[in-house]
Chain A
Amino acid sequence: EVQVVETGGGLIQPGGSLRLSCAASGFTVSSNYMSWVRQAPGKGLEWVSVIFSVGSTFYADSVKGRFIISRDSSKNTLYLQMNSLRAEDTAVYYCARERMRMTMVQGVGRDSYWFDTWGQGTLVTVSS
């Protein structure tokens, strides 16, 4: 069965650091695109970061320079290192496997990405 399980959330003071983990089973993390998506209490979904199978990483502007996505192939685990945490980073953080397809639109290729496997999430609360 394909699944991911997030751990590492908790209460952290503003300015602090926290590392989230996402253990995968049923598939290989390093062969897939993997993302972190967060949801603030009572709010909608916000994409945070992605790591491609080739290792390229991308971030939302709201976390760029503060968060680092990485993976450990030997443990089949995805990570999110969160530094300089702010109150607005308070959210449930979901790990998700991505799928991609390319379509041609008026002769131009368009890569589209979606999330087909989600974990149960881990809550990060940034508060003093």
Chain B
Amino acid sequence: QSVLTQPPSVSGAPGQRVTISCTGSSSNIGAGYDVHWYQQLPGTAPKLLIYGNNNRPSGVPDRFSGSKSGTSASLAITGLQADDEADYYCQSYDSSLSGRVFGGGTKLTVL
């Protein structure tokens, strides 16, 4: 069981908007630690998508955005494209475990 909880899968049609949730607890997200998001295309290494809750690294399209509230965070993807089909992971820090923690990952399918 992952410390951060994500839905196993989400789907959407091209052009639509989807959101992926990431639920934590009072020792990680709820304690004020930032949430970060990674995209893992099939057969490749993870890539940083969002850092510090809502910041995009250079080169990441503004179709991707992040938000955080309380013990949860969300990744939103607008204008879905076929090459957005990938696994998405949230990540934070947990003070009880004294370590970096990931969500279990969400597989995005573009219909």
Residues of A within 8 A of B (CB): 35, 37, 44-47, 50, 58, 60-61, 94, 99, 101, 103, 105-106, 108, 110-116, 118-121
Contacts and interface: CB of A to CB of B under 8 A. Distances in A.
A45 B90 CA distance: 10
A112 B92 contact: yes
B100 A50 contact: yes
A112 to B, nearest CB: 4
Contact of B31 (A50, A105, A113): A105
B99 to A, nearest CB: 6
Given A112-B92, A112-B93, A116-B51, A47 B99 contact: yes
A120 B47 CA distance: 10
Given A45-B102, A47-B100, A61-B97, A94 B32 contact: no
A54 to B, nearest CB: 16
B102 A47 contact: yes
B29 to A, nearest CB: 10
A115 B46 contact: yes
Contact of B34 (A47, A101, A115): A101
B105 interface: yes
Interface residues of B, number: 28
Interface string B72-111: 0000000000000000010111000111111111000000
B45 A119 contact: yes
B38 A115 contact: yes
A110 B104 CA distance: 23
Contacts of A45: 38, 46, 89, 91, 102, 105
Contacts of A113: 93, 100
B70 interface: no
A114 B99 contact: no
Contacts of B64: none
22 contacts: A35-B100, A45-B38, A45-B105, A46-B102, A47-B99, A47-B100, A47-B102, A50-B100, A94-B45, A101-B52, A106-B32, A110-B31, A112-B92, A113-B93, A113-B100, A114-B34, A114-B36, A114-B48, A114-B51, A114-B91, A115-B36, A115-B38
